[in-house]
Chains A and B, each alone.
Chain A
Amino acid sequence: MDNPAARFFSVLIFRLGTKRFAFETQDIIEVVSHRPVHTIPFVSDPLIQGLISVQGQLRICISLSKLFSDSFEDNVSASTATKCLVIQKSEFSFAFFVDEVESVIASAYVIPYIINPEQTIPDYFIGDIQDDFGKVGLLDPLLIGSKIQRCFL
Chain B
Amino acid sequence: MNSPNASQPPDEALYELYCGDLKSQLKIINDILIASEKNSFSASDISALLRAIHSIKGASKVINLDDMVHLTHSMEDALSTVQTLAEKPSEEKMGLLFKACDFLQEVSLLSRQDLLPYMTRKKDEIVNLCHALQASPNIAKQEPQPTLSIPQDTLETKNDFLFEDHEKKPQAIKLNPENLNQLMSFAAELLVELPRLDSLKSYFLKEKASLIKLEKHLDKLRENLLKEEVSRGLQTAICDFGREFLNFSREFENGTSYYDNFSYVLAHLSEQLYLTISANRLRPFSDAVESFPRMIRDLSHQLGKSVNLDIQGLDVLVDREVLERLISPLTQLLKNAIDHGIETPQERSSVQKKTTGLIVLSAFHRNGRLWVTLSDDGRGADLKKIKKTALEKRLVTEKEAANLSDNQWLPFLFLPRFFSESHVSEISGRGVGLSSVNNSISELGGSVVASIDPKSGTGMLFTLSLPLSLSVIRVLLVKIAKELYALPLAGIHKVCSLSLNECHSMNNALFFENCSLIDGDEIFSKIVKTPQTQEKNLLSVVFFDQNNDVVGLIVEEIIEVRDIAVLDLSHYCGKIPNIAAGTVIEDMTPVLVIDQESLSSLMQGKHHDGVNKKWILVVDDSHQVRSVLKEQFEKRGACVKTAIHGRDAWNALCEHVFDLIVTDIAMPQLDGIELLTLIKKNQRYKDIPAIVISAYDEKKTESLEKGAVAFFSKNALTQSTFDEVVSHFLDKGQMDG
Closest CB in chain A relative to B707 CB, distance in Å: 15
Once the chains are docked, how many angstroms separate the CA of A37 from the CA of B189? 20
Roughly how many angstroms separate A100 CA and B703 CA in the complex, as a whole number? 47
Contact between B574 and A58, CB atoms less than 8 A apart: no
Stretch at the interface among B63-71, B326-334, B583-591: B583-591
Interface residues of B in 614-664 (CB under 8 A from A): 623, 639-644, 647-648, 650-652, 654-656
Q: How many interface contacts (CB-CB < 8 Å) are there between A and B? A: 104
CB distance from B595 to the nearest CB of A (A): 11
With the chains together, A53 CA to B641 CA distance in Å?
A: 27
B contact residues around A150 at 8 Å (CB)? 641-642, 652, 655-656
- Determine the chain B residues whose CB is within 8 A of the CB of A120 once the complex forms: 650, 654
A149 touches B525 (CB 8 A): no
Instruction: Give bound CA distance, A53 to B193, whole Å.
Output: 13
Interface pair B484/A38, CB less than 8 Å apart: yes
Say how far B606's CB is from chain A's closest CB, in angstroms.
16
Stretch at the interface among B98-106, B440-448, B565-573: B565-573
CB contact between A60 and one of B573, B639, B678 (< 8 Å): that residue:
B573
Give the chain B neighbours of A51 by CB distance below 8 A: 569, 573, 582, 590, 592
Hey, which chain A residues are within 8 Å of B590, CB to CB? 36-38, 50-53, 58
B254 CB → nearest A CB, Å: 32
A107 contacts chain B at the CB level, 8 A cutoff: no
A153-B589 contact given A41-B577, A60-B573, A122-B651, CB 8 Å threshold: no
Partner of B589, one of A53, A118, A121, A147: A53
Beta-carbon contact of A153 and B639 below 8 Å: yes
Q: Which of A30-83 contact B (CB under 8 A)?
A: 35-43, 50-53, 56-60
Question: Does B78 reach chain A (CB closer than 8 Å)?
Answer: no
A25 to chain B, nearest CB (A): 21
* Interface size, B (range): 35 or more
Contacting residues of chain A (86-104) with chain B, CB-CB under 8 angstroms: 90-91, 93-94
Q: Is A58 within 8 A of B567, CB to CB?
A: yes
Docked-complex contact B641 and A36, CB < 8 angstroms: no
Q: Determine if B572 and A56 form an interchain contact, defined as CB atoms under 8 angstroms apart.
A: no
- Chain A residues contacting B678 (CB-CB under 8 Å) are 117-118
Residue of B nearest to A92 (CB): B572
Complex CA–CA separation, A141 to B686 (angstroms):
29
Distance (Å) between the CB of B720 and the closest chain A CB?
28
Chain A: CB-nearest residue to B621: A142
Q: Is B524 interfacial (CB-CB < 8 Å)?
A: yes
* A41 with B578: CB separation less than 8 A: yes
B contact residues around A58 at 8 Å (CB)? 567, 569, 572, 582-584, 590
Knowing A51-B582, A153-B639 are in contact, say whether A59-B572 is a contact too (CB < 8 A).
yes
* Distance from B682 Cβ to chain A, minimum over Cβ atoms (Å): 8
Residue B579 is within 8 A (CB to CB) of chain A in the complex: yes
Beta-carbon contact of A60 and B572 below 8 Å: yes
> How far apart are the CA atoms of A110 and B726 in the complex, in Å?
43
Would you call B567 and A57 a contact (CB within 8 A)? Answer: yes
Say which size band chain A's interface belongs to.
35 or more
Known A-B contacts A37-B590, A41-B578; the reply to A153 vs B640 at CB < 8 A is yes
B644 touches A143 (CB 8 A): yes
- Contact in complex: B641, A41 (CB < 8 Å): no
If the complex has contacts A53-B584, A143-B644, A143-B648, are A91 and B523 also in contact, measured as CB distance less than 8 A? no
CA distance A40 to B642 in the complex (A): 21
Contact of B651 among A40, A147, A153 (CB under 8 A): A147
The answer to whether A93 and B572 have CB atoms under 8 Å apart is yes
B670 at the interface (CB under 8 A from A): yes
Judge whether A152 and B573 touch: CB under 8 Å: yes
Known: A117-B670, A117-B678. A38 touches B573 (CB 8 A): no
Residues of B within 8 A of A146 (CB): 642-644, 648, 652
Partner of B576, one of A40, A115, A121, A147: A40
Q: Which residue of the partner chain, among B592, B640, B655, contacts A38 with CB atoms under 8 Å?
A: B592
Determine the distance from Cα of A59 to Cα of B572 in the docked complex, in whole angstroms. Answer: 7
User: By CB atoms of chain A within 10 A, which of B623, B641, B648, B678 has the most?
Assistant: B648
Chain A residues within 8 Å of B648, by CB: 142-143, 146-147
How long is the Cα–Cα vector from A60 to B570 in the complex, in angstroms? 11
Q: A42-B577, A56-B189 are in contact. Are A115 and B669 (CB under 8 A)?
A: yes
Report A-chain residues with C-beta under 8 Å of the C-beta of B579: 40-41
Closest to B639 in A: A153
User: What residues on A are CB-neighbors of B641 within 8 Å?
Assistant: 150, 153
Q: In whole Å, how far is A57's beta carbon from the nearest beta carbon of chain B?
A: 7
Neighbouring B residues of A90 by C-beta, 8 Å: 623
In the complex, which residues of chain A have a beta carbon less than 8 angstroms from the beta carbon of B654? 120-122
Closest B residue to A51 using CB positions: B590
Residues of B within 8 A of A59 (CB): 572
Bound-complex Cα distance A142 to B623 (A): 11
Contact status of A53 and B674, CB under 8 A, knowing A42-B577, A91-B623, A93-B572 = no
Q: Does B31 contact A (CB under 8 A)?
A: no
Closest to B568 in A: A58
Q: Which of chain B's residues have a CB closer than 8 A to the CB of A142? A: 644, 648
Across-interface contacts of B656 in A (CB, < 8 A): 150
From B523, B576, B588, contact of A35 by CB (8 A): B588
Q: Cβ of A53: which chain B residues have Cβ within 8 Å of it?
A: 584, 588-590
Task: Give chain A residues whose Cβ lies under 8 Å from the Cβ of B623.
Answer: 90-91
Beta-carbon nearest neighbor of A48 in chain B: B573
Contact partners of B545 in chain A: CB under 8 A? none
Find the B residue at minimum CB distance from A42.
B577
Q: With a CB–CB cut-off of 8 A, which chain A residues contact B576? A: 40-43, 152
B483: interface (CB < 8 Å): yes
Q: Which residue of B lies closest to A61 (CB)?
A: B590
Separation of A94 and B573 alpha carbons in the complex (Å): 10
CB atoms of B639 and A36 under 8 A apart: no
With contact pairs A90-B623, A117-B678, A150-B652 given, residues A41 and B640 touching in the complex (Cβ less than 8 Å) = no
Docked pose: A38 CA to B525 CA in angstroms: 11
Distance (whole angstroms) from the CB of B268 to the closest CB of chain A: 22
A53 CA to B647 CA in the complex, in Å? 32
Residue of A whose beta carbon sits closest to that of B675: A117
104-153 of chain A: CB within 8 A of chain B: 115, 117-118, 120-122, 142-143, 146-147, 149-150, 152-153
Closest-CB distance, A90 to chain B (whole angstroms): 7
B647 contacts A40, C-beta separation under 8 Å: no
**CB within 8 Å of A: which B581-618 residues:** 582-584, 587-592
The CB with the most chain A CB atoms within 10 A, among B577, B590, B643, B652, is that of B590
Given A115-B670, A142-B648, 8 more pairs with CB closer than 8 A: A41-B525, A50-B590, A53-B584, A56-B584, A90-B623, A115-B647, A115-B669, A117-B670
**Interface pairs (18), CB distance under 8 Å:** A36-B587, A36-B589, A37-B590, A41-B525, A53-B589, A58-B572, A58-B584, A58-B590, A91-B623, A115-B670, A118-B678, A143-B651, A146-B642, A146-B643, A146-B644, A147-B648, A150-B656, A153-B640
Interfacial residues, chain B to chain A (CB-CB below 8 A): 189, 483-484, 523-525, 567, 569, 572-574, 576-579, 582-584, 587-592, 623, 639-644, 647-648, 650-652, 654-656, 669-670, 674, 677-678
Task: Give A contacts to B, CB under 8 Å.
Answer: 35-43, 50-53, 56-60, 90-91, 93-94, 115, 117-118, 120-122, 142-143, 146-147, 149-150, 152-153
Those 3 A-B pairs whose CB atoms lie nearest each other, nearest first: A122-B651, A38-B590, A53-B584
